[in-house]
Amino acid sequence: MFEPVRPARAYELIVEQIETAIYDGTLAPGDRLPSERALMTQFSVSRSTIREALRVLQSDGRVQSRPGDPNGPVVLPFSTAGLHKSMSSLVRADTVGLAELLQYRIMTEGCANQLAAQFRTDAQLAAMQEALATMQASVSSGHDTFARADMAFHDLIAEAAGNKLLQVSNEVVRTVVLQLIERKITQAEDRPAQMLDSCRRHALVLDAVRQQDPARACTLARRHIFEYYAPYLDEAELPRLLILMDAPPDGA
Amino acid sequence: MFEPVRPARAYELIVEQIETAIYDGTLAPGDRLPSERALMTQFSVSRSTIREALRVLQSDGRVQSRPGDPNGPVVLPFSTAGLHKSMSSLVRADTVGLAELLQYRIMTEGCANQLAAQFRTDAQLAAMQEALATMQASVSSGHDTFARADMAFHDLIAEAAGNKLLQVSNEVVRTVVLQLIERKITQAEDRPAQMLDSCRRHALVLDAVRQQDPARACTLARRHIFEYYAPYLDEAELPRLLILMDAPPDGA
DNA sequence: TTCTGCTAGTGGCCGGACCAGTAGACTGTC
DNA sequence: GACAGTCTACTGGTCCGGCCACTAGCAGAA
């Protein structure tokens, strides 16, 4: 009949007020909050309470304060840091595993390629071409340049897809996956062969994007991710990914 | 040559210590932290510093403290709450429009249905059936019950898909979409007809899930979302969604 | 045995204080 | 007038001691 109540903490109310001010634009990135001593009069609470609220906002990446700064805490622009943090924490805690990450990535990256193939501009296509060239050129030189160019390629795809959510989620998942298998992948003895193979596959995908063939771009991208990362998975985990390959959504 | 240094805050060091203790299992979910007064002697800092550290840990969903509890703050189990929080902040903050949200939702929900059709258990199927029944029963009664049952249905699909990332992102996007058009949808004069139609479509999707036909489940789910929300979009925005319909991934 | 009231200890919050650090004004020099 | 250096007012980080409402568990009453 009645609902349980959760007594309101003062600092939580302050966090809420400042958060909504950020959401509705009253506080834009780059703006400055009043100093802690000014805030305590505005909210009529003590400084400890203000500080606890600021700590929460800071840990959420909304504001940042610097000792001695006479301008007060600064409102930060949105960043994906929070997403990265919470996702890698889930990975560290074994709540989500590599298979789950890859399953998700196969879906989103596939969709991204599909959209990119449809809506890419010529300029975007040229940029992708360039990123691929950098990848090919750095096969022999270094793992680092290659990885960066690889990252850039996928970023360009996501950008061409024209969906910010897709872009961000792709970027986050991709980064977390790389973190997870970074050691294994850099130490692989057949690393150069892997890189060459990766280039070949990227070229195939890029070709589909160039010819504006969404279905093929999607299928190739999915298959590429699957085959590239499959060695790092257990046998038992493969079916959950395979169903995304030859079954739909490419309707084979 | 040299890297910039960031002076270490005391409370940050405390957060780190407790966090690593949680990660490496020294502190398991359900365990109790010492009281704030005890922690201040262990870390040899003042209570304010302890409290600021606890605020950060609390906002990250790692611990929770309750006033008057003689057992001290409790270590929480890992959950997707943090991911949920940062994801909804992304969706809210980055000024993504309805079309973009729906585009994303069509992709993820489609995939979820595809996976759910493949991997659902009989128990999950029964639960979906029940949710759909509740929806059908509440068409005449009230908008609220209907919306809740609708939500439950999609949650069950996402759960059956067996991917936590997919589950969280689906839930977030769905919630935000509903918030965006809540007013328009509850005030629609043909609301009962809409509800009936929605039930019919859900039944179709559920049938595909029952028969474990992933391709059909995916296609139907995508089409359902598109047609349900299309009236709330501009003409110009439709193509970006349509490409996800009759082109792949259902390979028509 | 059940219930009640008490109590020790808890987290939430307050006010004041000190310190190292910062930016901008202020000074003296050239 | 331009520029180095100092000075100052204020900032955030931390500490201390104190008060309050609340909770769990216990001792005593029924």
Confidence of residue B42 (pLDDT cuts 50, 70, 90): very high
Mutate to test the interface with A, among B90, B120, B171, B244 (most CBs of A within 10 A): B90
Taking an 8 Å cut-off on Cβ atoms, the answer to whether B114 and A247 are in contact is yes
In the predicted structure, residue B200 carries a pLDDT above the cut 50: yes
The pTM for the full model equals 0.86
What residues pair up with B250 in beta bridges, in sequence order? A250
SS3 B56: helix
Q: In sequence order, what are the residues at sequence separation of 6 or more whose Cβ sits closer than 8 angstroms to the Cβ of residue A138?
A: A145, A146, A149
- Phi first, then psi, for residue B232 (nearest 5°) are -90, 5
Q: Which residues of A touch B165 (CB under 8 A)?
A: 87, 96, 100-101, 104, 173
pLDDT value at residue A220: 94
Distance CA(A150)–CA(A144), nearest Å, equals 10
pLDDT value at residue B198: 92
Confidence of residue B241 (pLDDT cuts 50, 70, 90): confident
- What integer is the mean pLDDT of A73-90? 91
In the predicted structure, residue B250 carries a pLDDT above the cut 80: no
| Percentage of the residues of chain B whose pLDDT score is greater than 90 | 66
Please state the length of chain A: 252
SS3 A246: coil
SS3 A27: coil
Taking an 8 Å cut-off on Cβ atoms, the answer to whether B249 and A252 are in contact is no
Question: Mean pLDDT in chain B?
Answer: 90
In the predicted structure, residue B161 carries a pLDDT above the cut 80: yes
pLDDT value at residue A152: 95
pLDDT value at residue B94: 66
pLDDT, tens digit (0-9, with 9 covering 90-100), for B8-35: 999 999 999 999 999 999 999 999 999 9
Distance CA(B250)–CA(B215), nearest Å, equals 6
SS3 A204: helix
Please name the residue whose C-alpha is nearest to the C1' of nucleotide C15: A46
Tokens of A52: 């606890």
In the predicted structure, residue B182 carries a pLDDT above the cut 90: no
- What integer is the mean pLDDT of B191-199? 88
Taking the CA atoms of B122, B153, B227 and B168 in sequence, report the sign of the dihedral they define: negative
In the predicted structure, residue B74 carries a pLDDT above the cut 60: yes
Confidence of residue A139 (pLDDT cuts 50, 70, 90): confident
- What integer is the mean pLDDT of A104-121? 94
> 């903050």: which residue's tokens?
B93
In the predicted structure, residue A137 carries a pLDDT above the cut 50: yes
The Å distance, CA of B9 to C1' of C26, is 33
Identify protein residues whose C-beta is within 7 angstroms of any atom in strand C. A 9-11, 44-49, 52, 66-71; B 7, 33, 35-38, 47-48, 51, 54, 65-70, 72-73
In the predicted structure, residue B234 carries a pLDDT above the cut 50: yes
In the predicted structure, residue B252 carries a pLDDT above the cut 60: no
Mutate to test the interface with B, among A45, A49, A107 (most CBs of B within 10 A): A107
Q: Hey, what long-range contacts does B40-46 have (CB within 8 A, 24 or more apart)?
A: B43/B14, B43/B17, B45/B10, B45/B11, B45/B14
Nucleotide nearest the Cα atom of B32 (by C1')? C10
A70 Cβ contacts chain D strand, under 7 Å: yes
Q: Hey, what long-range contacts does B122-131 have (CB within 8 A, 24 or more apart)?
A: B124/B156, B124/B159, B124/B160, B125/B160, B125/B209, B125/B210, B127/B156, B128/B153, B128/B156, B128/B157, B128/B160, B128/B206, B128/B209, B129/B206, B131/B156
Give A190→chain B minimum CA distance, Å.
Answer: 32
pLDDT, tens digit (0-9, with 9 covering 90-100), for B114-126: 999 999 999 999 9
A67 Cβ contacts chain D strand, under 7 Å: yes
In the predicted structure, residue A247 carries a pLDDT above the cut 60: no
pLDDT value at residue A246: 55
Closest CA to A110 of B180, B190, B230, B251: B251
SS3 A237: helix
- What integer is the mean pLDDT of A61-80? 94
Distance CA(A195)–CA(B78), nearest Å, equals 36
Asked if residue A247 lies in contact with residue B213, where contact means CB atoms within 8 angstroms, the answer is no
Comparing B190 with B155, which gets the higher pLDDT?
B155
- What integer is the mean pLDDT of B235-243? 82
Mark out the alpha helices in A60-190 (DSSP H runs). Answer: 81-92, 98-119, 122-137, 143-161, 164-187
Q: Which residues of B touch A11 (CB under 8 A)?
A: 55
Looking at strand C, which nucleotides approach a protein CB closer than 7 A?
Answer: 8-17, 20-24
Confidence of residue A238 (pLDDT cuts 50, 70, 90): confident
- What integer is the mean pLDDT of B159-163? 94
Bond from prior residue into B239 cis (ω within 30 degrees of 0): no
C-beta neighbour count of A197 within 10 angstroms: 14
Please name the residue whose C-alpha is nearest to the C1' of nucleotide C14: A46
A48 Cβ contacts chain D strand, under 7 Å: yes
pLDDT value at residue A64: 96
* B-chain residue closest to A167, CA distance: B104
Distance CA(A20)–CA(A186), nearest Å, equals 44
* B-chain residue closest to A249, CA distance: B249
pLDDT, tens digit (0-9, with 9 covering 90-100), for A13-56: 999 999 999 999 999 999 999 999 999 999 999 999 999 999 99
pLDDT value at residue A252: 32
Taking an 8 Å cut-off on Cβ atoms, the answer to whether B248 and A214 are in contact is yes
pLDDT value at residue B14: 97
In the predicted structure, residue A239 carries a pLDDT above the cut 80: yes
The Å distance, CA of B11 to C1' of C27, is 40
In the predicted structure, residue A248 carries a pLDDT above the cut 60: no
pLDDT, tens digit (0-9, with 9 covering 90-100), for A141-179: 777 889 999 999 999 999 999 998 899 999 999 999 998
Tokens of A16: 């809420």
Q: Hey, what long-range contacts does A240-246 have (CB within 8 A, 24 or more apart)?
A: A240/A99, A240/A103, A240/B115, A240/B119, A240/B162, A241/A99, A241/A102, A241/A103, A241/A106, A243/B114, A243/B115, A243/B118, A243/B214, A244/A103, A244/A106, A244/A107, A244/A110, A244/B111, A244/B114, A244/B115
Closest CA to B180 of B133, B251, B229: B229
Give the end-to-end CA distance of chain B in Å, rounded to a whole number. 57
What DSSP string describes B135-169? HHHTTTT-HHHHHHHHHHHHHHHHHHHT-HHHHHH
Looking at strand D, which nucleotides approach a protein CB closer than 7 A?
Answer: 9-18, 21-25
In the predicted structure, residue A12 carries a pLDDT above the cut 80: yes
B249, amino acid identity = P
Tokens of A38: 């000014």
pLDDT value at residue A4: 78
Taking an 8 Å cut-off on Cβ atoms, the answer to whether B249 and A59 are in contact is no
pLDDT value at residue B126: 96
- What integer is the mean pLDDT of A242-247? 69
